[in-house]
Amino acid sequence: MQRSSSSGSGLAQELLEVQPVNCFHRDVESQSTIRLNGAGSYYAHAPRMTRPDAFSGIVCVSHEMSEIITQIKSACCSSAPMLITGETGAGKDLIARTVHAIGPRREGEFIPFNCGGITPELIAGELFGHRRGAFTSADRDYKGVIREADGGTLFLDEIGELPLAAQPKLLRFLQEGEIHPLGEARPIKVKARVIAATNRDLEADIRSGRFRDDLYYRLNVFHIHIPPLRERREDIRPLIEHFLDLRRQETGKQGLRLSDKSWALLLGYHWPGNVREVESLSHRLAALAANGEVIELETALAAIRTGIGAPPPASATVENGIVIDPCLTIHEAKDELERLFIIKALNETGRNLSRSAERLGMSLPGLKKAIKRLGIKA
């Protein structure tokens, strides 16, 4: 097949001609799962990939993720803004990079920016830039990340944390395609696709006055929601297999594999940290397992418990995918369940205590007391 130019129609035709859609396929005779591209990981950084490699990092067999791939294809010919929602660790960054990699601006840079990682006083300068001498500490010109993304894609992670004061300026950029850096005499035109991501409920934030509705509608031209891993459980096994395969390559432990009881535990686990937690667990399993050793239930359980900050119980077992420790009293078991609920809420809200308390139906002081009492790392 001859490749066409990077125009919208040519790119759409190219995508339609490449089959199959999924990044994982089932070999019917061997019943084994194989990747299109054996290299890379779930969070691989590849800003200039082209189809089919653009989808090779997405490990999935579920209908839900196949629908997301279809949505990505539908949006590939446009440079309109996109909003990606989903819990912490679900893979929003990877989806954003994939959208960039097959879109019309794929030859440009992919510039990520975390809106929650910078103080409100500095975020406008980081986004829109400034001229030398614009303020006391401005000893040089600074382009800002929006101009860095000119011709490419700007990925605004944690968009729900963007301060209200900066939201009108971002809205103007989305509407007019121009920014006005501090100290600059005239606005500057910038052409960049904006992809925003959040684990927050932006519609609730609009009702509470935390987020502008006009900015939300500008960002929400295309909307992709990534369901949590517990709602697409058929993806759990391929993801574990994928990351264990990467750990074998990294460590040389070619015999690294899970026992049947370990598989039962991991397939029944609720994975509050989603795909990121699967990847982290694979590192712990590889570290705990000896070369050529089958990972038994106790080792898998220890890896899970270590990941959420509690020591592994020596007598724990698994029944129907639920961790059972017969040495616990009923009060200790209640504490264990409360601890898991709190950790899940913290993971799903990006460790935001106020929103976690609201989700759990607790007061903020009550949540803080529970975190301290249960020894949770907040």
pLDDT score, position 374? 82
pLDDT score, position 334? 77
pLDDT score, position 117? 81
pLDDT score, position 45? 30
Which residue ranges does the chain devote to CATH 3.40.50.300? 8-227
Residues 295-307 as b/e (b if ≥16 CB within 10 A, e otherwise) read: bebbbbbbbbebe
Contact 190, 178 (CB under 8 A): yes
pLDDT score, position 40? 29
CA distance 192 to 161: 21
Pick 264 or 81 by higher pLDDT: 81
Q: Which of 236, 273, 271, 234 is nearest to 89 (CA)?
A: 273
pLDDT higher than 70, residue 308: no
pLDDT score, position 134? 64
Does 3.40.640.10 match the CATH number of domain 8-227? no
CA distance 106 to 60: 23
Report residue 340's pLDDT band, with 50, 70 and 90 as the boundaries: confident
pLDDT score, position 120? 82
pLDDT score, position 324? 54
Which residue ranges does the chain devote to CATH 1.10.8.60? 230-374
Q: What is the mean pLDDT of residues 339-357?
A: 82
Give percent of the chain above pLDDT 90.
Answer: 43
pLDDT higher than 60, residue 28: no
Q: What is the pTM of this model?
A: 0.70
CA distance 100 to 47: 7
pLDDT score, position 147? 93
Retrieve residue 372's tokens: 């301290």
pLDDT score, position 207? 96
The model's pLDDT over 118-173, given as tens digits with 9 standing for 90+, comes to: 888 788 888 998 777 666 676 788 888 999 999 999 999 999 999 999 999 999 99
Does 1.10.8.60 match the CATH number of domain 230-374? yes
Strongest mean pLDDT among 14-28, 51-65, 276-290? 276-290
pLDDT score, position 328? 57
pLDDT score, position 236? 94
The model's pLDDT over 241-298, given as tens digits with 9 standing for 90+, comes to: 999 999 999 988 888 999 999 998 898 888 989 999 999 999 999 888 876 688 888 8
Listed range (21-35, 140-154, 195-209) with the worst mean pLDDT = 21-35
Give percent of the chain above pLDDT 70.
Answer: 76
- Do the bridges between strand 188-189 and strand 178-179 make them parallel or antiparallel, or are there none, so unpaired? antiparallel
